[in-house]
Structure 1
């Protein structure tokens, strides 16, 4: 298994319920893909994710079309502020890149840079962890890479994500 995969055992994960006084947390819907593309494009440094806003829009449409795996709508959430998306977490049934990795897999977690530092990453992540656990999943996995900030990596570790042995 690649060393860039992190996994949390949900029965042992130390997380509190997803609550935010800063934003409303709701399930991700394909009808918001254009607005999500704006957040996605803003959230990543140039050259890490989509190179243009049009590419970001295409990637959001592909996400909802299950091009990156079967989207688990009950475990994928959007942070909304005054009706506008400001962050999202997408979870699929399993990784399409790692055939030996079983269980739900986070394909993306991002927050608009103007709203970072408000605990939204933690809120979205704990919402996904809680939903996966509630629906019987034993683990939740993700990949880290060039687009993973130091703050995100620390958050994953605090919430029980570890490298696979």
Structure 2
């Protein structure tokens, strides 16, 4: 599954935003599972499949390694295969992370957005109640 994750990750972002080739995408996925971006929350991180093909994934860690003021779990990545977009997969993945974290007793779930964040992802985050913090 590591290669499928890397391929989906590579296809999901504009060129040179997240990874410039499949080897870089593999290294990003390996770094995620190694814990380079924080301890992965396996319960809140999941994949979505469509027609036997990986359609997207959400990766959640225990806390942000970049933002000390944020408490609780942190979404480090949400990526959707371009061919699977517009089908509610991104929303379902984020809802899974929210529900899992709430069920575990977490009071917050945070994320960062930037250059690689699509307008569609921003709409998902806003509609699900994510708000900018100081």
2:98 aligned to 129, 132, 135, which one? 129
Moved >6 Å (runs of 4+): none
Q: Which runs of 5+ in 2 are unaligned?
A: none
Structure having the larger proportion of residues in strand:
1
What is the Cα-based RMSD across aligned positions, in Å? 0.9
With normalisation by structure 2, the TM-score equals: 0.96
1:108 match = 77
TM-superposed deviation, 1:81: 2.4
Structure having the larger proportion of residues in helix:
2
With normalisation by structure 1, the TM-score equals: 0.79
1:65 aligned to 17, 21, 34, which one? 34
1:93 aligned to 53, 62, 70, which one? 62
Q: Identify the structure with bigger relative contact order (alpha carbons < 8 Å, sequence gap 6+).
A: 1
How many matched pairs? Answer: 134
2:121 match = 152
Once the two structures are superposed, residues 4-45 of structure 1 have per-residue CA deviations (whole angstroms, 9 ceiling, x without a partner) of xxxxxxxxxxxxxxxxxxxxxxxxxxxx22110000000000
Q: Which runs of 5+ in 1 are unaligned?
A: 1-31
Q: Write the distance in 1 (CA, Å) between the matches of 2:69 and 2:129.
A: 21
1:77 aligned to 42, 46, 53, which one? 46
